[in-house]
Amino acid sequence: MIGGLGPESTVDYYRLIIARYRARNPDGSNPPLVINSLDLLKGIQLVDTGRLSELADYLVAGVECLGRAGAVFGFLSVNTPHIVFDEVQRRSPIPLLSIVRAACDRAKTLGLKSVGLFGTRFTMQASFYPDEFQRAGVEVVRPKEPEQDFIHKK
């Protein structure tokens, strides 16, 4: 897991992975899990200044570390870096799961026709959620600009 960029979501994913594993394996064991915690501030600065190729390089280096540590697949535990997900996935030495695609698959499973999108300003304004969901026939509703500012600051 590439974490740290969103420490709160990293913790949430870690807890959920452990809980799901323990539900399937009630023997008290834990799954092998590698977390590469990247610098939140650096990631935000790269996105904020439009240095997306540098963000992709930063994330690819993080994923390469996961591969060297023995991970057989990986994922980014935060939304905003999915701005460069396709590039990172293309260059990744291990298969990557997309939380955007997983969210879309879940929305389809639930039979949803539209979903709301809250996140950083970058996530709410980018096209990676609307594009993925549109291909599945699910509308993404984004907050209006003043609402995006409020949500982004929170």
Express the helix, strand and coil content of the chain in percent, nearest 5 each.
60, 10, 30
* Exposure b/e, 35-64, CB count within 10 A at least 16 = b: bbebeeeebbebbeeeeeeebbbbbbebbb
β 96-97/74-75 pair status: parallel
What is the CB neighbour count within 10 angstroms for residue 17? 15
Put simply, whether the predicted model's pTM sits higher than 0.75 gets the answer: yes
Domains and CATH numbers, the chain: 2-97 (3.40.50.1860), 100-153 (3.40.50.1860)
pLDDT in tens, the chain (154 residues): 998 777 888 899 999 999 999 999 999 999 999 999 999 889 889 999 999 999 999 999 999 999 999 999 999 998 999 999 999 999 999 999 999 999 999 999 999 999 999 998 999 999 999 999 999 999 999 999 999 999 988 8
According to the model, what pLDDT value does residue 41 have? 87
